[in-house]
């Protein structure tokens, strides 16, 4: 046996004791991504919508000034790293889109102002459509015909729909019943974790009408804003959108299928201003039609929710005819946001636009401008998101006359990484 010199032995010992650099993988890039998102979230309370990953990944210190340059450099480095490693193609694609959005939001927090359409594309991976004022004028004519009478169209509309306000003393009963029914319909088709649940709260002084704060481990906190009167149609809307098969189910399925089953830790954090939100909001709105298709909804509301609310159901069909026409005007809100955020009109002008083209009462229109201030181009995720999701589901065979197929394709969409680009 050959003698080994003391120097060689020392070198071998030092090499053995020196920590070896980990090979770069998509999984450790995902960990770096999560930590970056959590650090950015320290400087903007709206940035992180949910986190249910390892406690030790949370940042323990915050700099006195916003380190935008460091955040942007780290995002760019992660994008380059993702493109250099092996891994699931869709997983890598979505992660890059999420990082582009995070980088953009850092720039916005730091004072950069993007035009509305460019901001929406960078944050949500979608180009919002634009409609001329004449388009909305033509839609108002349909409402004029549906609501004949004296006075302005807005006055006639609000006088009609005020008959369908849920009395405050009946609000909780109506909402709990609507959520229970939405849950029953969803659970009949999806196997969610046995422990899944939610807590329902009523809040005030918010810019939104409802919100789901996903807590992890298949638990949600659902909040309903009671600042303004709530119409009967909002019970099913919010039950499905915030709960079943909307946000609560979406987050539970992502956690179950991607985080727990596949170990994709990037889905343990949900940055709100990201492409994930277009899928989240679009699917939550489309989920209303999945759970309560067509006449089924109206029939259920007439038989169950109207009596619980103490409302006369004799005009329910007319009410939903009008609501259908109002729904066609949803993109008018996007136009108001675009003009307002681009500095083309004032807050008051934006509110008046929505009073005219969405028939909002003045107080509700002003509440909407608060939403524009807080969430900016996020507004596209509700209507454009729903349209993109609907087109995708129907292209996969999930049409209204194939309800079981629709539930199946919808679940597949909710359970996998997607952005607007991947569902076109």
Q: Nearest 5 degrees, angle CA 195-CA 198-CA 199? A: 135
Q: Nearest 5 degrees, angle CA 248-CA 309-CA 167? A: 95
Residues 404, 420: Cα–Cα separation, whole Å: 24
Structure confidence at residue 424 (pLDDT):
84
pLDDT digits (tens, 9 = 90+) for 255-295: 999 999 999 999 999 999 999 999 999 999 999 999 999 89
Structural domain boundaries in the chain: 20-124, 133-423
Name which of 213, 215, 216 is nearest 224 in CA terms.
Answer: 213
The proportion of the chain whose per-residue pLDDT surpasses 70, expressed as a percent, equals: 95
Pairing state of beta strands 219-225 and 210-216? Answer: antiparallel
The proportion of the chain whose per-residue pLDDT surpasses 90, expressed as a percent, equals: 93
pLDDT digits (tens, 9 = 90+) for 37-64: 999 999 999 999 999 999 999 999 899 9
Phi/psi of residue 407, nearest 5 degrees: -60, -40
Residues 254 and 276: beta-carbon distance below 8 Å: no
Structure confidence at residue 17 (pLDDT):
47
Residues 239 and 181: beta-carbon distance below 8 Å: yes
**Tokens linked to 100:** 């582009």
Higher pLDDT pick, 379 / 22: 379
Our measurement of the distance from residue 243's CA atom to the centroid of its chain's CA atoms, rounded to an integer in Å, reads 12
Residues 286, 257: Cα–Cα separation, whole Å: 21
pLDDT digits (tens, 9 = 90+) for 110-138: 999 999 999 999 999 999 999 999 999 99
Residues 166 and 231: beta-carbon distance below 8 Å: yes
pLDDT digits (tens, 9 = 90+) for 300-339: 999 999 999 999 999 999 999 999 999 999 999 999 999 9
């Amino acid at each position: 046996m050959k003698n080994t010199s003391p120097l060689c032995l020392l070198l071998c010992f030092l090499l053995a004791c020196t920590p070896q650099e980990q090979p770069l993988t998509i999984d450790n890039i995902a960990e770096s991504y999560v930590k970056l998102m959590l650090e950015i979230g320290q400087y903007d309370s709206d940035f992180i919508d949910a986190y249910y990953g390892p406690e030790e990944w949370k940042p323990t210190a915050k700099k006195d000034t916003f380190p935008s340059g460091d955040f942007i450099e780290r995002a760019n480095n992660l994008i380059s790293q993702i493109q250099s490693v092996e891994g699931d193609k869709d997983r890598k694609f979505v992660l890059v889109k999420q990082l582009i959005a995070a980088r953009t939001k850092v720039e916005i927090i730091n004072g950069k102002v993007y035009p509305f359409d460019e901001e929406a594309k960078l944050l949500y991976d979608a180009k919002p459509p634009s409609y001329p004022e004449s388009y909305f004028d033509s839609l108002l004519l349909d409402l004029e015909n549906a609501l004949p009478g004296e006075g302005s169209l807005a006055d006639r509309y609000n006088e009609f729909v005020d008959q369908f306000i849920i009395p405050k003393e009946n609000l909780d009963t109506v909402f709990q019943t609507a959520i229970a029914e939405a849950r029953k319909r969803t659970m009949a088709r999806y196997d969610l974790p046995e422990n899944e649940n939610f807590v329902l709260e009523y809040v005030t002084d918010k810019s939104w009408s409802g919100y789901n704060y996903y807590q992890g481990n298949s638990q949600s906190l659902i909040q309903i804003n009671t600042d303004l009167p709530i119409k009967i149609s909002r019970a099913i809307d919010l039950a499905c959108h915030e709960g079943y098969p909307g946000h609560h189910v979406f987050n539970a399925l992502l956690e179950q299928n991607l985080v727990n089953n596949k170990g994709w830790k990037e889905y343990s954090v949900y940055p709100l201003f990201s492409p994930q939100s277009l899928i989240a909001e679009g699917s939550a709105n489309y989920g209303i039609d999945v759970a309560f298709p067509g006449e089924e909804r109206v029939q259920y509301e007439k038989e169950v929710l109207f009596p619980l609310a103490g409302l006369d159901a004799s005009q329910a069909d007319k009410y939903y005819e009008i609501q259908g026409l109002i729904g066609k005007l949803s993109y008018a809100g996007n136009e108001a946001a675009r003009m307002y955020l681009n500095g083309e009109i004032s807050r008051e002008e934006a509110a008046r636009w929505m009073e005219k083209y969405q028939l909002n009462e003045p107080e509700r229109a002003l509440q909407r401008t608060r939403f524009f201030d807080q969430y900016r181009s996020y507004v596209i995720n509700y209507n454009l998101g729903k349209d993109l999701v609907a087109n995708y589901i129907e292209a996969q065979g999930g049409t209204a006359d194939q309800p079981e197929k629709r539930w199946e394709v919808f679940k597949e969409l909710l359970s996998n990484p997607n952005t607007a680009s991947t569902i076109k």
